A and B are shown apart, each in its own frame.
Chain A
Amino acid sequence: MQELDTTGLGSVRVTRKSDNVVVIEKDLATEQMVLAMGPQHPSTHGVLKLECLTDGEVITEAVPYLGYLHRCFEKCCENVDYPAVVPYTDRLDYLAGMNSEFSYALAVEKLLDIEIPRRVEFIRVIVAELNRIASHLVAIGTYGIDLGAFTPFLFCFRDREIILGLLEWASGARMLYNYIWVGGLAYDVPSDFLTRVREFVAYFRPKTVELCNLLTKNEIFVKRTLGIGIMPADVAINYGWSGPMLRGSGVKWDLRRNDPYSVYPELDFNVPVPDGKLSVVGDCLSRHLVRAFEMDESLKIIEQCIDKMPSAEGFNPRSAIPKRIRPKAGEVYSRAENPRGELGFYIQSDGKSTKPIRCKARSSCFVNLSAMKDLSKGQLIPDLVAIIGSIDIVLGEVDR
C-alpha cells in the first residue's frame, strides 16, 4: 500500500478507512468569536442584549445585558400614594396587566387587612384568567414565529383580539387597564359581559385543539424544541424559577394551588405538568406544552367563576375601598401566579405616610432569565433562539 505524500498540506492527519477511501483531516485552528444578539434582534422579544461567545456554531457563553427599558418603577412607587401605583403595575408585564394589578392589590390588602366583596373576587379572577389566556396566546404565537411558523401567530392574535375587546369593554383600555384597584374594582362589569365571556369560552375551546394540531404536533416545531435547553427540577428551584418554567421542569407548583389566594381554593382545575411522554421533562417543548394546556384550565376556571358569582344586585365595586389608604407600620411580601410565574411585591409601610416606603416588584421574567448563562452553554445558535422564546420574557417586567 502506497503512503500518501502530504508535503505542503501543513499538519494533517491521514486515516485510511479502506483501500479506496482515505480521510485527510487538516488541523484547523478554531477561534472564539463574539456575537452580539440584540438589543434589537427580533427573537429577543424586546430590548434584551445577549453577548454570545461562540466557537463556530456552538455557544460557549451567553451573557445577558438588561436595563434598556428601565423606568425606575420602584422609585416612582415611593413618590405616589398606594392607589396610584396600580397604573404603574400595568406597565410591568404589559401583556398581562390584570394579573400584575391583581398581585399588587393583594399585597396592599394584606397589609391593610380588609375584606373584599365576593363578587369583586370573582370578577378579578375572571379578568385575570382571560388575561392569562391572552398572554399565553402571545407567548405561543411569537414562539412559533421564532421557530419559523408564521400561521399560528395569526391564529393566536385573532383570538387574543376578542379577549382584548372584552377587557376593553370592562375597563376602557386594551392593555393598560387600571381596573383592579386596592380594595375593589374601578367598575362593575357591563351587564352583558358574562354572557359574552361564556360565548368566548365556547368559541375558544375548539380553537385550543386547532392550535395544538397546527403547532404543538407540528413535526418541524417538535424537532426544534424537543430535548433543547433541558433544566433539571432541582436546579430550576435553586434558580428561583416559577410558573410555566418551573412546571415545565416537572415540579407541580402553582401558587393558585399551593399558596392560594382570592377564591382559587373553591375552584376546580388541574395543574398541568409534563409527564415525559410527549417531551423530555424540562426542555423547551415541555414549557410550551404547559402553556398550551394551561389555557384549557383557565377556561375551566372562568366557567366556574361565572356559575358561582353572586348577582350584581346592590353591588358597589368600590364599597370596600378605604377613603384613605394608610396601612399600619409593617412589611409584607405577597405574590400571585402570573402567566410568567410568581410576581411578588415586597411593600414596607411606616404607618404614617400614604406612600410606600419601599415597594419592590419581584419579577418572574427577571428571575427566569437569570438562568440564561447556564441554559445556553454548549447550545447551537438557532437553539438559543428556541430557548429565549421558551422563557417567554417581557422586557417591561425584566427591567421595570
Chain B
Amino acid sequence: MEEGKVFSQSVQQSAAAYAIIHEKFGAAVSAFDANETMPFFEVLDTALWPDIALFMRDHAKLKFNYMACLSGVDYQAEEKVGIVCNIESLGLFNHKLAVKVKCARNGGSIPTVAYVWHTANWHEREAYDLFGMLFTGHPELRRILCPDDWEGFPLRKDYKVQESYHGIKVPY
C-alpha cells in the first residue's frame, strides 16, 4: 500500500486480508494493488492458485466463502490470457478481494478452483468458451454459451469470426 494516501475502510480491510495471504505465500503472490474501485493482487505462481484459494476460503481470519464473479480477460499486449476473480466473505467479515491469474495465450492453462467454490465451475467453462484458456482438473470443461463445434474464442481481441457454420454464412 502506498504511503501517505488515505483509503476507504473497505480497501483497508482488503489490505489486511492480503497481508495474511502474503505472509503465507510470500513470493507466489504479487504486491497489493490498492485502489478504490477494485483492490486486487495477482497470483504469480499459477500452480499455487488452488492452494491460495483453499487458504483464502478456510483460514479462520479470511473465510472468503463467496465467489461473486470470475471474468476472463485477454491481455493481448502481454501475450497472456487470464481470469479476474472477485471473492468476498459473505456475512462473516464482509471483506472483498480480487485475484488475478494469468497464463500463456496459446495453450496456457490455469488450475481449476471449481472444487473450492462450486460457482467457479460454470464461470470457468464460460472463460474457456470465450477466451480459450484451459482449466486443469475441471470436472466438465466444455463450451457453455457457444455451440460445441464453434471455431475460435470470440472474446479474444484478435478473433476473426468463422466464414460459415453448418453451411450458414456467419458474417453479415
Chain A interface (Cβ < 8 Å from any Cβ of B): 66-67, 70, 72, 74-75, 78, 110-111, 113, 234-235, 237-240, 251-253, 258, 330-335, 342, 344, 346, 348, 358, 360, 362, 366-367, 370-371, 374, 399-400
CB distance from B157 to the nearest CB of A (A): 8
Chain B interface (Cβ < 8 Å from any Cβ of A): 35-38, 40, 65-69, 71-74, 84, 86, 90-91, 94, 98, 117-119, 121-123, 130, 143-147, 154-155
Most buried by A among B40, B68, B130, B147: B68
Q: Is the CB of B71 within 8 A of A346?
A: yes
Q: Is the CB of B69 within 8 A of A344?
A: yes
Residues of B within 8 A of A251 (CB): 90-91
CB distance from B8 to the nearest CB of A (A): 12
Q: Is the CB of A331 within 8 A of B154?
A: no
Q: A67-B145, A346-B84 are in contact. Are A240 and B155 (CB under 8 A)?
A: no
Q: Is the CB of A67 within 8 A of B90?
A: no
Q: Is the CB of B119 within 8 A of A239?
A: yes
B38, B118, B147: the one contacting A333 at CB < 8 Å is B38
Q: Is the CB of A239 within 8 A of B147?
A: no
Q: Is the CB of B86 within 8 A of A346?
A: yes
Most buried by B among A239, A331, A400: A331
CB distance from A53 to the nearest CB of B (A): 15
- How far, in angstroms, from A77 to B40 measured CA to CA in the complex? 24
Most buried by A among B36, B94, B122, B154: B122
- How far, in angstroms, from A234 to B91 measured CA to CA in the complex? 11
Residues of A within 8 A of B154 (CB): 72, 75
Q: Is the CB of A370 within 8 A of B35?
A: no
Residues of A within 8 A of B94 (CB): 258
| Chain A residue at smallest Cβ distance from B154 | A75
A67, A111, A360: the one contacting B146 at CB < 8 Å is A67
Q: A237-B65, A335-B68 are in contact. Are A370 and B73 (CB under 8 A)?
A: no
- How far, in angstroms, from A256 to B74 measured CA to CA in the complex? 32
Q: A333-B69, A333-B86 are in contact. List 6 more A-B contacts (CB 8 A).
A: A240-B119, A253-B90, A330-B38, A346-B69, A362-B71, A367-B123
Residues of A within 8 A of B144 (CB): 66-67
**27 interchain pairs, CB-CB under 8 A:** A67-B143, A67-B146, A110-B37, A111-B37, A113-B36, A237-B90, A238-B66, A238-B118, A240-B66, A253-B90, A330-B38, A331-B38, A331-B40, A332-B37, A333-B37, A333-B69, A333-B98, A335-B68, A342-B68, A344-B68, A358-B71, A360-B69, A362-B68, A362-B69, A362-B71, A367-B122, A399-B145
| Chain A residue at smallest Cβ distance from B73 | A358
Residues of A within 8 A of B147 (CB): 67
Residues of A within 8 A of B66 (CB): 237-238, 240
- How far, in angstroms, from A207 to B108 measured CA to CA in the complex? 57
CB distance from A146 to the nearest CB of B (A): 24
- How far, in angstroms, from A113 to B37 measured CA to CA in the complex? 9
Q: Is the CB of A331 within 8 A of B84?
A: yes
| Chain B residue at smallest Cβ distance from A327 | B37
CB distance from A101 to the nearest CB of B (A): 19
Most buried by B among A240, A331, A348, A399: A240
Residues of B within 8 A of A113 (CB): 36
A72, A360, A370: the one contacting B71 at CB < 8 Å is A360
Residues of A within 8 A of B37 (CB): 110-111, 330-334
- How far, in angstroms, from A110 to B69 measured CA to CA in the complex? 18
